[in-house]
Amino acid sequence: MNDTRIRSVGHRAKVMSAEDAALLIAPNTTVGLSGFTASGYPTAVPLALAARIEAEHLAGRPFKLRIWTGASTGPELDGALAKADGIEFRLPYNSDPTCRDKINRGQMEYFDMHLSQVAPAAWQGILGPLDTAIIQVTGICEDGSLIPASSVGNNKTWLDRAGQVILEINRWQNPELLGMHDIYYGAALPPNRVPIPLIHPGDRLGEPCFRCDPDRIVAIAGHLLEFLEHEVRKGRLPPSLLPLQSGVGNTANAVLAGLIDAPFDNLTAYTEVIQDGMMALMDSGKLRLASSTALSLSPDLSESVNRRMGEYRDRIILRSQEISNHPEIIRRLGVIAMNGMIEADIYGNVNSTHIMGSRIQNGIGGSGDFARNAYISIFMSASTAKAEAISTIVPCASHVDHINQDVQVIVTEQGLADLRGLLPKQRAKVVIETCAHPVYRPMLADYHQRALAGSYGLQTPMLLNEALSWHARYVATGSMAVSG
């Protein structure tokens, strides 16, 4: 152990192995873990916990946990615990394929929440008690305060609420990270809520470290594994690497990187994750500063950003996700929201979560926090999926996460539809003509024409017997297209 990371003498006495820390977690309890995207999440304790669960199961003893995080995490956490069949309940967002499969088979419970509402709901008590917090930090100060890692998420709330706290030290992350975070302790439940005094994206409201009562810490597990090595070892990335998945996704990432050559300067960001595209924009000098709850970078970029962390500390601010996603701030700042989607219907209702209406993909994540309160709310997707077997523009969304009032711009590779100020029938015309793939455009136009003639009402024309027929046809035949 390198003591420069653990400056509190009291904490040094509590260092233990990941395996011993895992023994502190009882079956049928609730565990709150750090992590917001594959960033700042513990790995050693969850892997040891997964091994313990597998051993218990082999011995015929049931062992399941309720898992709370910030958002998605990585394979050593969600993936390992799900493969060990150790998760009975998961919130508030998931992108792990093993979890997704179990959820859609009905073998794991999944509570898909607006990200900004998780911490208040935990304080309100409607989620039940939190038994254990497992939080990745990059160091412990002499006074016991905790230096956060590369994401903040719900960590402040888990630390405040948990019955016991297990810390993992990430020794790979550069100590220069200290000072990048802004941990706001001013949130409260009503009637004691006050204005969150954030007026500019760069305002700092709080403290650089988490407060944590040392008496509540029962274990500290060191963690030195390099991010790149983890990813490669799990077979999730080839040795040459690929970008990490995130709620925001590759399309948004590419859009951000594209801003480098655009005639804009002095940009700022107020977002939930900082991805590669945003870092490229920052390195180009175009992006002046960025506020988020997590750095969610590709392994390659993580390495280089970590080396130069001191250069970024004044330009990046990491906040709790109830602040990064807070409607008050998003509305005040007038954020331009750019989110991916699964499908949009011709009226601009967007499905972000459920494939064919029932099969969950990831979750609503922060998209509902941002889309409704944004100054301009943009949704993006390719116009087709599965080799054109699926049209992402459909007559009727099979599940609605973002109602038409919250969707102002839709973009596909076919074009951009600016729906601001347009009425339902106008929206349909523009969406079909601008965003739909040529293979599906005539089918959509035909549906809409017939709906205009045969709908029960004409404000938002709809053919009830056909509205979901494209999805039913896909499930039955493997394609939304009518075979000719």
135 binds its own copies (CB under 8 A): no
Straight-line distance from the first to the last Cα atom of the chain, in angstroms, rounded to the nearest whole number:
68
196 binds its own copies (CB under 8 A): yes
User: Residue 276 or residue 345: which is nearer to its own copies going by CB?
Assistant: 345
x/- contact string, 408-447, with its own copies (CB under 8 A)? ------------xx-x-x----------------------
Q: How far is the CB of 438 from its own copies (least distance, A)?
A: 25
460 binds its own copies (CB under 8 A): yes
Where in 340-379 is the site for its own copies (CB under 8 A)?
349, 354-360, 364, 368, 372-373, 375
456 binds its own copies (CB under 8 A): yes
CA–CA distances in Å: residue 93 to residues 70, 256, 428? 8, 23, 31
Tokens of 321: 């996700």
126 binds its own copies (CB under 8 A): yes
Give one word for 288, left, alpha or beta, with left for phi > 0 and alpha for psi -120 to 50. alpha
Distance CA 95, CA 382 (A): 19
Packing angle, helices 441-454 and 424-435, rounded to 10: 160
Question: What does DSSP say about strands 132-140 and 146-148: parallel, antiparallel, or unpaired?
Answer: antiparallel
**Residues 6+ positions from 193 with CB-CB distance below 8 Å:** 187
Exposed/middle/buried for residue 195 (C-beta within 10 Å: 0-12, 13-18, 19+): exposed
Q: Is residue 123 within 8 Å of 102, Cβ to Cβ?
A: no
User: Residue 144 or residue 363: which is nearer to its own copies going by CB?
Assistant: 363
288 binds its own copies (CB under 8 A): no
Four-residue CA torsion sign, 357, 362, 365, 371: negative
Q: Of the listed pieces 282-290, 313-321, 438-446, 467-475, which binds its own copies according to CB under 8 A?
A: 467-475
Q: What residues act catalytically?
A: 272
Q: How far is the CB of 194 from its own copies (least distance, A)?
A: 6
Helix/strand/coil for 387:
coil
Where in 170-189 is the site for its own copies (CB under 8 A)?
189
482 binds its own copies (CB under 8 A): no
387 binds its own copies (CB under 8 A): no
Among 61, 200, 307, 450, binds its own copies (CB under 8 A): 200
User: Residue 174 or residue 455: which is nearer to its own copies going by CB?
Assistant: 455
Q: How far is the CB of 134 from its own copies (least distance, A)?
A: 22
Among 2, 12, 28, 128, binds its own copies (CB under 8 A): 128
Q: Of the listed pieces 113-121, 154-162, 208-216, 441-449, which binds its own copies according to CB under 8 A?
A: 113-121
2 binds its own copies (CB under 8 A): no
Tokens of 477: 């035949």
Q: Is residue 234 within 8 Å of 79, Cβ to Cβ?
A: yes
Exposed/middle/buried for residue 213 (C-beta within 10 Å: 0-12, 13-18, 19+): exposed
x/- contact string, 295-334, with its own copies (CB under 8 A)? -------------------------------xxx--xxxx
Q: How far is the CB of 392 from its own copies (least distance, A)?
A: 17
Please give the backbone phi and psi of residue 396, each rounded to the nearest 5 degrees, phi first. Answer: -150, 130
User: Residue 356 or residue 436: which is nearer to its own copies going by CB?
Assistant: 356
